[in-house]
Amino acid sequence: TAKASSKGIPIMTRAQRFHPLDPLSAAEIAVAVATVRAAGKSPEERDSMRFVEAVLLEPEKNVVALADAYFFPPFQPSLLPRTKGSAVIPSRLPPRRAKLVVYNRHSNETTIWIVELSEVHAATRGGHHRGKVISSAVVPDVQPAMDAMEYAECEATVKNYPPFIEAMKRRGVDDMELVMVDAWCAGYYTDADSPSRRLARPLIFCRTESDSPMENGYARPVEGIHVVVDMQNDVVIEFEDRKFVPLPPPDHLRNYTPGETRGGVDRSDVKPLIIDQPEGPSFRINGYFVEWQKWNFRIGFTPKEGLVIYSVAYVDGSRGRRPIAHRLSFVEMVVPYGDPNEPHYRKNAFDAGEDGLGKNAHSLKKGCDCLGYIKYFDAHFTNFTGHVETIENCVCLHEEDHGILWKHQDWRTGLAEVRRSRRLTVSFICTVANYEYGFYWHFYQDGKIESEVKLTGILSLGALMPGESRKYGTTIAPSLYAPVHQHFFIARMDMAVDCKPNEAHNQVVEINVKVESAGTHNVHNNAFFAEEKILKSELEAMRDCDPSSARHWIVRNTRTVNRTGQPTGYRLVPGSNCLPLALPEAKFLRRAGFLKHNLWVTPYNSDEKFPGGEFPNQNPRIHEGLATWVKKDRPLEETDIVLWYVFGLTHIPRLEDWPVMPVERIGFMLMPDGFFNCSPAVDVPPGSSDVDAKEAESPKAIQNGGLVSKL
Amino acid sequence: TAKASSKGIPIMTRAQRFHPLDPLSAAEIAVAVATVRAAGKSPEERDSMRFVEAVLLEPEKNVVALADAYFFPPFQPSLLPRTKGSAVIPSRLPPRRAKLVVYNRHSNETTIWIVELSEVHAATRGGHHRGKVISSAVVPDVQPAMDAMEYAECEATVKNYPPFIEAMKRRGVDDMELVMVDAWCAGYYTDADSPSRRLARPLIFCRTESDSPMENGYARPVEGIHVVVDMQNDVVIEFEDRKFVPLPPPDHLRNYTPGETRGGVDRSDVKPLIIDQPEGPSFRINGYFVEWQKWNFRIGFTPKEGLVIYSVAYVDGSRGRRPIAHRLSFVEMVVPYGDPNEPHYRKNAFDAGEDGLGKNAHSLKKGCDCLGYIKYFDAHFTNFTGHVETIENCVCLHEEDHGILWKHQDWRTGLAEVRRSRRLTVSFICTVANYEYGFYWHFYQDGKIESEVKLTGILSLGALMPGESRKYGTTIAPSLYAPVHQHFFIARMDMAVDCKPNEAHNQVVEINVKVESAGTHNVHNNAFFAEEKILKSELEAMRDCDPSSARHWIVRNTRTVNRTGQPTGYRLVPGSNCLPLALPEAKFLRRAGFLKHNLWVTPYNSDEKFPGGEFPNQNPRIHEGLATWVKKDRPLEETDIVLWYVFGLTHIPRLEDWPVMPVERIGFMLMPDGFFNCSPAVDVPPGSSDVDAKEAESPKAIQNGGLVSKL
Ligand SMILES: [Co+2]
Ligand SMILES: [Co+2]
């Protein structure tokens, strides 16, 4: 079914069902899993297979370019280079591939499989896939991410272990139904943590009421029990009841369920606030392709990263569709705790690599997680046993009013022009044990892209001896304390500022503002200026934030200029940030060398995606990943630039963070800097101000609001 | 009309018409002006009077306490100390007073008048005021803020000055209608700027089309003309056509009016987004008293500061109404420019003290400046000649949905609790010449107060010689450039954390996070902790931001503890910030010594309100105001604490900031820190998720949105 484009080049719509960047469908995952399982050499191997992830193997960028030129929107044949003046139009795209991470529970081996998926029936008949193994390779000396099924297995293993049952009895707990075992990854501290064994070092909590499933059990940490679980064999391999710490008394403020189940009364005066979009949303969706207010991009989703934003571009009048980024996502997180005592020094969750931000995502609800006209995307995964699981309504896409966009009132005439800002927000939320993280990408009409993380959920607490307080945290309730910690997030941004397909014409410039020296050129002592420095190679591009010099970075196109002759670019504007508050020898920094700087820049390499390596769990290799790659000191003066922005917040807990923490926000901004010739928001039309009649129409409001009349 | 309170103490409602903190009414301003004018000693003095401001003289705090106890909401007699067990109930409050700043155009003197206003008729009959002069005092060696009428006079004076007309002719401009003269204050650089004369050093711009009132004239700065105007006598006193800089060519991107008047086409795909509050807002208003979601406070407005928030408190269950702050406002702004060349080194607007944030506020429009159910407050002023002017809809108060408030999903049960955040926003927007500033105070259900400034409007540009570029700014268009500059804002916060009336039990603690030293107490090298330090006196309390140590400050009550026995407090959490990028000898820093630190703390003193003094315009006194007051080094260990938070952003202009700058945001947060025993947001009820039906009901949306069906 080919149709003619406006330029006479045939466009092959529907020749393929899936864009090369579409996440694997449920059917594709099922085929990929079946293909791998069938390739197992023995019944025993097949039985031992545990499917940690099955994810799209993203194709090379030229395949994406081909798809975007002829097969899928944005249908841009003119962007592809032509051979001898005429376009080369392929008849179809190469088959999609899946990458599977499989843990062999018998051999304790981790294997990466590549499976090619071909469609054997036409898309119109529902599609039918067939898989072919392209490669399989054992990855030595790693442990892949922990799976939700293992969380449950670990809990059961510990709760059935007689010495543990004894230890809980010693603490006055007979009912093992009350006990919660959270399977934290072991990290790497000594050879005993080597990936030759699959380990968990669980944290123990204990609820007080067996008939209350929503009781907040994190309010009673069980301290003093040392337990290590072999997750391969589901056995406790180390156990010691080291110290008798009494269970904290039940905190009467521990619950957060509504009203009486919490033990309180809910507010009754929150009146409804409804977002009404009577003409529907301003966005258009075609599969995973999103168009909104001159922006367009594709949505993806992976088990490790969760939401991925691909092929971000802005349609800029006669200049057409101008790319900004190939791929944006969060590729790792680290949450190191600052208490040197057991078990807290072991807490430094790598939530992407050890657990999976995507695998732990939520199914969202309108009116609660999201407001307004929502477009949800589902996400499909393989579970540990190889069955396909779907998180419905996993990614939320919607518009938001965002206050005023710009305004000017002329003092001579009193005439004002004011515009309201609308933003498009794409997000997902995940839970990793006690904590919740929401990841948001906001697109604005003025060309900005904002990345925002919202932190909420339940603090990871410790128990104190009666009367004890701890230098390394905040006492939250009697015998309960919350250790200080930091949350670090690593955004990986494969940029494409004004790069057409197959172009790699970007570089990164650091800007620092400098006070001008004294002298005749600065007689009033007021002068300062922005100093630019090209980050020429990887080792030069390990940089930290410096608010005192208004430091920021610009990704510039080396061959495209704006109307003043300056290179077009996008600014990375840091928000609040910090660096790890740990001594350089801290064990978690072995695995998290990438935390040592706020900015890293690398030339694009499809193998370099996870800054602590693909398998940070129990990783014995010092500084695997980003901190090692950059040692090559590859040139960056004109290439396909990947930015790694590392940002964190230091969390000194407050009583008000308990029992569930009000959302804390942190993020950064990508902002056009000479990318456009003037503000791209200048063409936003005025809003209507004729809603004034509304107030008068609403007599209820007047009654409820007391004296809401004009003073 | 006394009514009985629930505790049997009679409450005198309506005994007075105005709360002691209500802004002056239009009638009161008229009476105050008439009273002062009548007190003029001669017809000549009366004619010479120019009314810079007429503002409520705020009473002592004990008068406010009395009013809040017996006469006005929150009606809290129990909070006042009792004499011998029984409450002393006054029969009425003392009369209100007005403070007037009057400039004598004949003598060049500035006089502060205090007028007592008494109501001679009952409120029910509309009220009738009579004024009595309490005092008048000439303030030596000052120049008060410039008035809007003076802006116009200055423009006329310059445009009628023959050598100026000549100079414009030399630049090819014959039509003086095109010329714009913006009267900037002179600052203080040399004795020639002494306040013995009332000076303006205007900036000149020139439009291109005489019939287009909304043309952006700031696109053609006229350079090279030196002109100083004596504003007392409306004469040009210095004039020199120093350098011939051709007018920049008309920039075809200079306009921002809609559609064709801009020369472009507006976006047509912004679909309506309506905020519907069918049951009205959740707030209740009684005069200037606001109640919302356990918060209550009063609204005020002054010519210099604009919006003032008084008597902020949170109703905390059985603990009742707990005060947090007496008074919150923005008391000064400084915008120093970084170009050492004429005229830019002179640009360092003190927009509060030199012009008045309140006097330059806008009348707001629903649907444009504000969305949702709005309660507006008008603001009344005297104009320069003594007539009352009203800015209708000057302060906007409304609710906003603010995303998720908190969430936790239990991984064992899959059960989730999620709440949406609602905030109450109080704001106003002002224009000072080319720039716009919006000042916002947001109140949240989790006890946070956020202060946010939105910056928009038009860049202050310079012209370049053909082919020239300037180290100190960004070329925006041919021959047009925007110098680098900084925007500083000074929030004054008179705190009252858990202080009942007449209590002064606050102190400020600085928190810095420290990495633990190496050793046996830190074997894993991961330890860090929050170190507290009391800021004992004013000189100790001059502090700067330090993100690397997560530095913040807590205002604590010295005598009230939370359930863990720690003092109750509120955290001041800085946002992004900077310090002046100028050499210490910079002339503008003489007047802006308060910019040298991000935080200052003083004990409350009713005379200490403006950090650069009340009259920064042409101020010759080095470091008048805050930087001088703190030299007394008054003790702060237990007092009525005033925080002065100074925050700024360094603006390196982008092409995208032209022709009108998309809103930039900067601010800070006040956050409860052990003030509550747990999260005050835990009692927010769940939202309704039954809006799912909505999407299906809206066939239009599906049509417009393309393939908006579930994938
Ligand atoms: Co935290
Ligand atoms: Co600016």
Summarised one tens digit per residue, pLDDT across range A569-605 is 999 999 999 999 999 999 999 999 999 999 999 999 9
Candidates B655, B671, B692, B698, partner chain A, best to mutate (most A CBs within 10 A):
B655
* CA–CA gap between residue A396 and residue A430 (Å, rounded): 13
Cα B459 to ligand 2 centre (Å): 7
Average pLDDT over residues B268-279: 95
Active site residue B351: yes
Q: Is B377 on the interface with A (CB under 8 A)?
A: yes
Residue A562's SS3 state is: coil
Euclidean distance between the first and final Cα of chain B, in Å? 67
Statement: residue B3 has pLDDT above 60: no
Question: Which of A389-398, B526-535, B682-691 has the least mean pLDDT?
Answer: B682-691
Interface test with A, best of B421, B524, B595, B700 (most A CBs within 10 A): B524
For the stretch A189-199, pLDDT in tens is 999 999 999 99
What are the residue ranges of helices labelled H in B67-140? none
| Counted domains in chain A | 3
Of the three residues A82, A111, A139, the one that is the final residue of a domain is A139
Query: What pLDDT shows up at residue B490?
Result: 98
pLDDT band at A7 (very low <50, low <70, confident <90, very high): very low
pLDDT at B428 over 70: yes
User: A580 and A623, same structural domain?
Assistant: yes
The whole-number pLDDT of residue A241 equals: 97
- The answer to whether residue B238 is domain-embedded is no
A700: in domain = no
Q: Are residues A562 and A473 in the same domain?
A: yes
Determine contact, residues B349/B335, Cβ cutoff 8 Å: yes
Residue contact B484–A684, C-beta within 8 A: no
Specify the pLDDT at position A692: 43
Mean local confidence (pLDDT), A149-176: 97
Mean pLDDT for A41-61 is 97
Comparing CB atoms, the residue among A257, A521, A662 nearest residue B679 is A662
- List all residues of chain A from 648 to 707 with a beta carbon under 8 Å from chain B: 649-650, 652, 654-663, 671-692, 694-695, 698, 700-707
Tell whether the model's pLDDT for residue A695 goes beyond 80: no
> Which of A257-271, B446-460, B466-480, B685-699 bottoms out in mean pLDDT, i.e. has the lowest?
B685-699
| CATH number, residue B613 | 2.70.98.20
pLDDT of amino acid B15: 54
Indicate if the pLDDT at residue A225 is higher than 50: yes
Which pLDDT score, from 0 to 100, does residue B233 have? 97
What is the distance between the alpha carbons of residues A221 and A248, in angstroms, rounded to a whole number? 8
How much of chain A exceeds pLDDT 70, in percent? 92
- What band does A702 get if pLDDT is binned at 50, 70 and 90? very low
Q: How far is B84 from chain A (nearest CA, A)?
A: 37
The DSSP secondary-structure symbol of B223 reads -
- State mean pLDDT over B570-598: 97
Q: Are residues A14 and A130 in the same domain?
A: yes
pLDDT of B608 over the 80 cut: yes
Instruction: Output the pLDDT for position A212.
Output: 82
Answer yes or no: is pLDDT of A98 > 90. yes
* Sequence-separated (6 or more) residues with CB below 8 Å from residue A437: A333, A351, A357, A429, A430, A453, A454, A455, A457
- Both A134 and A234 in one domain: the answer is no
CA dist., res. A513 & res. A342, Å (int): 45
Separation of B656 CA from ligand 2 center, angstroms? 12
Between chains, do B682 and A340 touch, taking CB under 8 Å as contact?
no
Given this model, what pLDDT does residue B78 score?
Answer: 82
Same domain, residue pair A31 and A121: yes
User: Is pLDDT at A13 greater than 90 in this prediction?
Assistant: no
CA of B522 to the centre of ligand 1 (A): 21
**Is some CB atom of chain B closer than 8 A to the CB atom of A512?**
no
Q: How far is A585 from chain B (nearest CA, A)?
A: 6
Choose the weakest-confidence range: A35-49, A82-96, B371-385.
A82-96
Q: Taking residues A199-203, what's their average pLDDT?
A: 97
Cis peptide before A74 (omega within 30 of 0): yes
Q: Does B48 touch chain A (CB under 8 A)?
A: no
Q: Is B481 a catalytic residue?
A: no
Q: Among A4-13, B345-354, B510-519, B637-646, where is mean pLDDT lowest? A: A4-13
pLDDT confidence of B537, banded at 50, 70, 90? very high
Q: B435 Cβ partners below 8 Å, 6+ apart?
A: B335, B455, B456, B457, B458, B460
What pLDDT, on the 0 to 100 scale, is given for residue B702? 31
Would strands A485-495 and A641-651 be described as parallel, antiparallel, or unpaired? antiparallel
pLDDT at B83: 64
Helix (H, G, I), strand (E, B) or coil at A337: strand
pLDDT band at B162 (very low <50, low <70, confident <90, very high): very high
Name the band, by pLDDT with cuts 50, 70 and 90, for residue B207. very high
- Tell me the pLDDT band of B2, cut-offs 50, 70 and 90: very low
Residue that terminates a domain, selected from A78, A112, A139: A139
pLDDT cut 90: percent of chain A above it = 86
pLDDT band at B583; cut points 50, 70, 90: very high
Q: Are residues A127 and A154 in the same domain?
A: no
pLDDT tier at B260 (50, 70, 90 boundaries)?
confident
> How far away, in angstroms, is A459 Cα from ligand 1 center?
7
Same domain, A550 and A446: yes
For residues A158 and A183, membership in a common domain is answered with yes
Catalytic-labelled residue, pool B151, B435, B437, B444: B435
Q: What residues 137-176 of chain A have any CB closer than 8 A to a CB of chain B?
A: 148, 151-152
pLDDT digits (tens, 9 = 90+) for A268-277: 999 999 999 9
- Looking at the CA of A335, name the nearest ligand: 1
- Residue B311 within any structural domain of the chain: yes
Chain B residue numbers with beta carbons less than 8 Å from the beta carbon of A340 are 516, 521-524, 526-527
Across all residues in chain A, what is the average pLDDT? 92
Q: Does the distance separating the beta carbons of A336 and B564 come in below 8 Å?
A: no
Q: CB neighbours of A126 closer than 8 A, spacing ≥ 6?
A: none
Instruction: Return the pLDDT at A86.
Output: 62
Indicate whether A620 pLDDT > 80: yes
Whether residue B701 lies inside any domain: the answer is: no
Residue B532 three-state SS: strand
Give mean pLDDT, residues A498-517.
97
Rounded percentage of chain B residues whose pLDDT exceeds 90: 86
Domain membership flag for residue A411: no
Q: Are residues A455 and A367 in the same domain?
A: yes
Q: Do A701 and B375 touch (CB under 8 A)?
A: no
Residue type, B209: E
pLDDT > 60? residue B125:
no
- What is the per-residue pLDDT for B18? 92
Most B CBs within 10 Å: which of A437, A691, A703, as the mutation test of the B interface? A691
Predicted confidence at residue A214, as pLDDT, reads: 86
pLDDT of residue A586: 96
pLDDT digits (tens, 9 = 90+) for A431-452: 998 999 999 999 999 999 999 9
Beta bridge partners of B290: B285, B297
Average pLDDT over residues B143-161: 96
Detail the DSSP E strand segments found in A294-387. Answer: 295-302, 306-315, 321-336, 348-349, 374-382
Instruction: Note whether B399 contacts A: Cβ–Cβ < 8 A.
Output: yes
**Average pLDDT score over residue span B629-658:** 98
What per-residue confidence (pLDDT) applies to A689? 58
pLDDT tens digit sequence for A254-293: 999 998 889 889 999 999 999 999 999 999 999 999 999 9
- Which of 298-337 (B) contact A at CB < 8 A? 336-337
Q: How confident is the model at residue B130 (pLDDT cuts 50, 70, 90)?
A: confident
**B77: confidence class by pLDDT, cuts 50, 70, 90:** confident
Which residue in the list B22, B147, B339, B351 is annotated as catalytic?
B351
* Across B156-166, average pLDDT: 98
Looking at beta carbons, which residues of chain A come within 8 Å of B475?
A: 564, 566
B-chain residue closest to A676, CA distance: B656
Query: Do residue A125 and residue A253 come from a single domain?
Result: no
Q: What pLDDT sits at residue B706?
A: 29
Q: For residue B637, what are the domain limits?
A: 284-337+348-459+484-672
Distances (CA, A) of B165 to A695, B152, B161, B168, B171: 52, 17, 6, 5, 10
- Residue B338 has its nearest CB partner, among A258, A399, A528, at A528
In the predicted model, is pLDDT for residue B643 greater than 50? yes
- Give yes or no: residues A134 and A153 share one domain: no
Q: Does B635 fall in a domain?
A: yes
Do the domain assignments include residue A272? Answer: no
Exposure of B457 in the CB half-sphere (CA atoms within 13 A): 19
Torsion of CA B119, B122, B128, B133, to 10 degrees: -10
Ligand that lies nearest to the alpha carbon of residue A666, given by its number in the listed order: 1
**A356 and A218, same domain (yes or no):** no
- Work out the minimum CA distance from B125 to partner chain A, whole angstroms: 16
Per CB-CB distance under 8 Å, the chain A contacts of B527 are 338-340, 345, 472, 582
CA distances from residue B562 to A658, B135, B565, B673 in whole angstroms, order as listed: 14, 47, 5, 10
Tokens found for residue B239? 């004039």
Question: Residue B33 — pLDDT band, cuts 50, 70, 90?
Answer: very high
Residues B564-584, mean pLDDT to the nearest whole number: 97
- Residue of A193, A251, A339, A351 with catalytic role: A351
User: Taking residues B642-657, what's their average pLDDT?
Assistant: 98
Q: Is residue A8 over pLDDT 90? A: no
| pLDDT reported for residue A470 | 95
CATH code of A191's domain: 3.10.450.40
- State the average pLDDT for chain B: 92
Residue of B nearest to A372 (CA): B273
The mean pLDDT value for B348-370 works out to 94
Residue B47 included in any domain: yes
Q: How many CB pairs under 8 A join A and B?
A: 581
